[in-house]
Amino acid sequence: MQSRPGGSGASQAVWLGSMGAKVSFVARVGAKDKPHLEAYFKGFHVDPILVADPQRRTGVLVVLVDADGERSFLTDRGANPALKSSDLPVWLLNETRLMLISGYSLFAEGRRRAVMWLAEEARRRGVPIAIDAASVGFLREVGVGTFLEWTRGMSTLLANADEAEALSGTDDVIEQMVALGTYFERVIIKRGARGAAVGGRQGVRLDMPAPQVEVVDTTGAGDAFAAGFITAELEGTGEAECLRRGIEAGSKAVKQLGGQPE
């Protein structure tokens, strides 16, 4: 058994930091955990902006991995739903080139208001926003139309195959791109062992396979993919190289236990 700071946003942050991207991670945590969590993120070159909650403990996510590397989750959200607008430093946007939001942050009302407030501030400053759909279960719970309304105006959608199917109502990747491209300028679909595709309302622009690897744990593979793609894009590389590096990072992640870089 391993214990480490996690969750989709945290995993994306440490993968980004480990790849050399300049990244800040904002979250609300239990007060007693703040010092060691700050040290952990700094170890991956992440700037941790952690708000100490005096009453609630840090959220806990238990990941159960089966023999095939697939996983299931048990969740205690802890301090996470208490995140509020005053916890989010708007001054960060002055130097931000991309705001990456985990869809998990939208599935609790108070936290959603805070995140959407910061997203609106980002849009006013011309900062592009990428949203990771994060959970097909939550999408079905809140409703596809509701999620798409929440994310209106965000520039990039990252979704795995199940999330893309839930959001578009089809399992055909070309039809998924066309449908979701009416809401987002760019759609990136993570297809697991089949690789990944990127496109928009005109359909699929690029579709790349993934290498065959021994799967130990699929936890965090999508977060690693997002970090690889985004890091390459921030370096100014073309879309094909971004997709290749995203797939490379996701393939690396499934070969190790825990969903984060070593």
What is the secondary structure of 37-60 as a DSSP string?
Answer: HHHHHHTTTEEEEEEEESSSPPPE
Both tokens of residue 197? 């595709």
Of the chain, the end-to-end C-alpha distance in Å amounts to 15
Beta bridge partners of 189: 159, 197
pLDDT for 182 equals 96
pLDDT for 232 equals 98
What is residue 201's DSSP assignment?
A: T
Both tokens of residue 97? 């080139």
In b/e form, how buried is each residue of 195-216, taking b as 16+ CB within 10 angstroms?
bbbbbbeeebebbeebeeeeee
Burial class of residue 145, CB neighbours in 10 A (0-12, 13-18, 19+) = exposed
Beta bridge partners of 74: 62
pLDDT for 173 equals 97
pLDDT for 66 equals 58
* pLDDT tens track, the chain, 262 positions: 455 556 788 899 999 999 999 999 999 999 999 999 999 999 999 999 999 998 888 765 544 455 554 545 445 556 777 888 999 999 999 999 999 999 988 988 888 999 999 999 999 999 999 999 988 888 999 999 999 999 989 999 999 999 999 999 999 999 999 999 999 999 999 999 999 999 999 999 999 999 999 888 888 899 999 999 999 999 999 999 999 999 999 999 988 877 788 7
CB 110 within 8 A of CB 84: yes
Please state, in angstroms and rounded to a whole number, the distance separating the CA atoms of residues 221 and 182: 27
* Alpha carbon of residue 256 to chain centroid: 19
Please state, in angstroms and rounded to a whole number, the distance separating the CA atoms of residues 40 and 224: 18
pLDDT for 4 equals 57
Nearest to 79 by CA among 110, 106, 102, 118: 110
Domains annotated for the chain, with CATH where assigned, are: 1-82+217-246 (3.40.1190.20), 100-209 (3.40.1190.20)
